Amino acid sequence: MNICIYGASSDRIDESYKNAARELGKSLGEASFGMVFGGGATGLMGAAARGLRSVGKDRILIGVAPRFFDEPGVIYEGCSEIIWTETMRERKQKMEDLSDGFVVLPGGIGTFEEFFEILTLRELNRHNKPIILYNFNGYYDRIRELLQHAAAEKFMTEEQTYLCSFADSAEEILQKLKEEILQS
């Protein structure tokens, strides 16, 4: 089973976030999950990939990136497979198709966009795969508050706030993935 990881590509972020992403990647590998990600060598994407790869080269690690990312130092070279797309939209579709669940690491605009798209697709019954936000250091507390506020104001239902879940540790993420994938 492959888990899609969304997350920051920035290397300017605090090292604690990179350590948490690396630990998550390692935990996924130890639990025999493969990983699908944006292919980046840096930031949380690169850290998670390195964590998974630290378990062994036999773990599936699929990078999916648009051709305009094909520049020295941008793509993580330890991938078992790189899939090139023409656009970011094609990239997201391919990542969705290859994945059995989604984990959203802390990130910026691109990560938010990926999260809200995959959440919308779940709400529209286009998939029933788990979506878990890694709430490391409370990073996603305000997203949780936003979803709850939108439901309180009747812009979405209370049930829709449960289309994704939040986890504070790699162990909790693995537990949720195993529970939710087995229910699917």
Residues 106-119 have pLDDT tens digits of 999 999 999 999 99
Alpha helices in 31-153 (DSSP H): 43-53, 88-97, 109-123, 141-152
pLDDT digits (tens, 9 = 90+) for 31-78: 999 999 999 999 999 999 999 999 988 999 999 999 999 999 999 999
CA distance 162 to 131: 10
Q: Whose CA is closest to 35, among 17, 51, 15, 18?
A: 51
> How many Å apart are CA 99 and CA 1, to the nearest integer?
7
